[in-house]
Amino acid sequence: MLRVPHMNWSNELAYYVTPKSGPMRPMETLLDANRALLDDLSPAIRRRPHWVAVKRLLLAAATSAEPVDIRLATDGLVRALEAEGWMTRSKMAECG
């Protein structure tokens, strides 16, 4: 019989993540991050290597619920946001 692991999407991220620009919402839990990936990013953006890595890290964190996996997923999320330039305020936002 195939055993499906329990997913712990309600666990909080290692720290809250609030992008300064870009399309993604603030995130507090693994579920927030998963929904942001699926709902806030286009399929083309989700296929970029850094987002593929974040998806894998989030899945590992939700599966294990281990603090180290949650930290790795949170840090990976921030690295991906930084790669997109979304952890800095956009010039348009500064002017408006």
- In tens, the pLDDT along 56-90 reads 999 999 999 999 999 999 999 999 999 999 999 86
How far is the C-alpha of 40 from the C-alpha of 34, rounded, in Å?
Answer: 10
Among the residues of 3-87, which ranges form H helices? Answer: 30-35, 43-46, 49-64, 67-84
Q: What percent of the chain stands above pLDDT 90? A: 84
How far is the C-alpha of 62 from the C-alpha of 82, rounded, in Å?
Answer: 23
CB 65 within 8 A of CB 11: yes
Q: Minimal CA–CA distance to 84: which of 56, 58, 33, 46? A: 46
Q: What is the pTM of this model?
A: 0.88
